[in-house]
Amino acid sequence: MTVVTVLLVAAVLLGIGTWGVLSQQSFVMIMMGFELAINGVMLAAGALWRFTSGGEPRGQVLVVVAMLVMAVEAAIGFALVVAVSRARRADTTEGIAELRR
């Protein structure tokens, strides 16, 4: 597998994630779009470190730490989505127009 192939897959993941964030109104779909976009960025970073550092694992360790942080962020985000949907009975972004109260 070449660096071009991996970067192409990363660009596709980033594009699909960005499209998902911008086109959806459901909280869950927006969160999934963010996750895909972040996965694309991390795949590109890991591939660049892999192919440019001569095989030293420092870059991959940083990517694994970023994945751990992303998993915690996703859990907190989904907990917030559940809390808002229970409190406001809203599951789309249009349903929480008056969230300031």
> Per-residue pLDDT tens for 31-70?
889 889 999 998 898 888 888 877 677 777 888 888 898 8
Taking only the tens place, the pLDDT of each residue in 74-88 is 889 888 888 877 877
pLDDT in the model for residue 99: 58
Q: How many beta carbons lie within 10 A of that of residue 70, not counting itself?
A: 15
What's this model's pTM, rounded to 2 decimal places? Answer: 0.76
- In the chain, where the domains are located: 3-95
What is the tens place of the pLDDT at every residue in 8-37?
999 999 999 999 999 988 878 888 898 899
Cβ atoms 61, 50 nearer than 8 A? no
3-class state of residue 92 by DSSP:
strand
CATH number of 3-95: 1.10.287.3510
CB-hemisphere CA count at 13 Å for 30? Answer: 12
